[in-house]
Amino acid sequence: MLHFSEEQVQRYSRHIILPEVGVDGQEKLLSSRVLIAGMGGLGSPAALYLAAAGIGTFGLVDFDVVELSNLQRQVIHTTEDLGKPKVKSAEETIKAINPDATVHQYRQRITSETIADIITDYDLVLDGTDNFPTRFLLNDACLLTGKILVYGAVLRFDGQVSVFAPNQGPCYRCFIPEMPPPGAVPSCQQGGILGVLPGVIGILQATEAIKLLIGVGEPLIGRLLLFDALSMEINEVKLRRDPNCPACGERSNLIELRDYEDLCQLAV
């Protein structure tokens, strides 16, 4: 059992007085290990609020460096961080918010060779990635290791959030079984995004992560939340586990990880 310092009692007082969180819940957060794949638009706000919430250990995965065009939405990075590896910049901000957090940087691409070993050390995975091949691989890795995947996606003015929990509900491939062919989605360079939108969705992902770690509320397992920033409408779609899912279905032959082709790059 953890013993809170006086500073921690003060820091987390607003959590501790919530009946649904309390001392037990806060202790769970302090003992939790969360892997955030991608320190971009979604990973940034999620990491900020998870740090504030007292997540004990972070794993941050991103191979990229901070660029000027990132700053419109990747709020964990600042102008002073231009050119810095995103995982380094993110660690600095996380620790500025919460010095008690332990942060492990993985400045690398997510590949089939390494991701399973990385994921094993964490309680859940938050998907902040920006392409289908990585999402597919992350999904496979979470299925094989039994880790919950908190999903988020954004484009233009629309966002989505869900939770993919192995053996409890559908996986990402039950939702999107195949990668869209080139030409079916905007090319990576052409897509636009309202800067605040990943803020909304990333924080919803962080909310789901906290609920799962504490064990309160109803997580979005089997549910896809749809957010339309223009109309301010929030809708929900039921997601069902697909018995024919190529990843988690009855006839799935997923026994090892493989890297998926980046059709978006091929299209460019």
Partner 1 sequence: MKSLPQRVTMDWDFWTIGNEPWKCILDHSVGDYPKEACGILLCPRARPWNITDAYPTRNATSEDAATRYLVDPLEFLQVQKWAEQRELDICGFYHSHPDHPAVPSEYDRQYAWEGYLYLIFSVKDGVFEESKAWRWDAVEERFKEVFSPTTI
Instruction: Please give the residue ranges that form the binding site for partner 1 (CB under 8 A).
Output: 38, 40-42, 128-132, 152-156, 158, 160, 174-178, 180-181, 183-186, 188, 191-193, 198, 224, 226, 228, 235, 237, 240, 242
C-beta of 42 vs 101, nearer to partner 1: 42
Q: How far is the CB of 18 from partner 1 (least distance, A)?
A: 31
Residue with tokens 């929900």: 236
First to last CA, the chain: 53
C-beta of 201 vs 213, nearer to partner 1: 201
- Identify which of 151, 122, 150, 142 has the alpha carbon closest to the alpha carbon of residue 209: 150
Tokens at residue 145, please? 């290791």
**Neighbour-count burial for 161-199, b at 16+ CB within 10 Å, e otherwise:** bbbbbbeebbbbbbbeeebeeeeebeeeeeeebbeebbb
C-beta of 27 vs 208, nearer to partner 1: 208
C-beta of 85 vs 152, nearer to partner 1: 152
Q: How far is the CB of 144 from partner 1 (least distance, A)?
A: 23
> Which helix or strand (DSSP H or E) is residue 47 part of?
helix 43-53
Q: How far is the CB of 157 from partner 1 (least distance, A)?
A: 9
Q: How far is the CB of 216 from partner 1 (least distance, A)?
A: 27
C-beta of 6 vs 178, nearer to partner 1: 178
Neighbours of 204 (CB within 10 A): 23
Neighbours of 116 (CB within 10 A): 17
Q: How far is the CB of 26 from partner 1 (least distance, A)?
A: 31
DSSP letters spanning 63-106: --B--GGGGGT-TT--GGGTTSBHHHHHHHHHHHH-TT-EEEEE
C-beta of 125 vs 174, nearer to partner 1: 174
Q: How far is the CB of 74 from partner 1 (least distance, A)?
A: 10
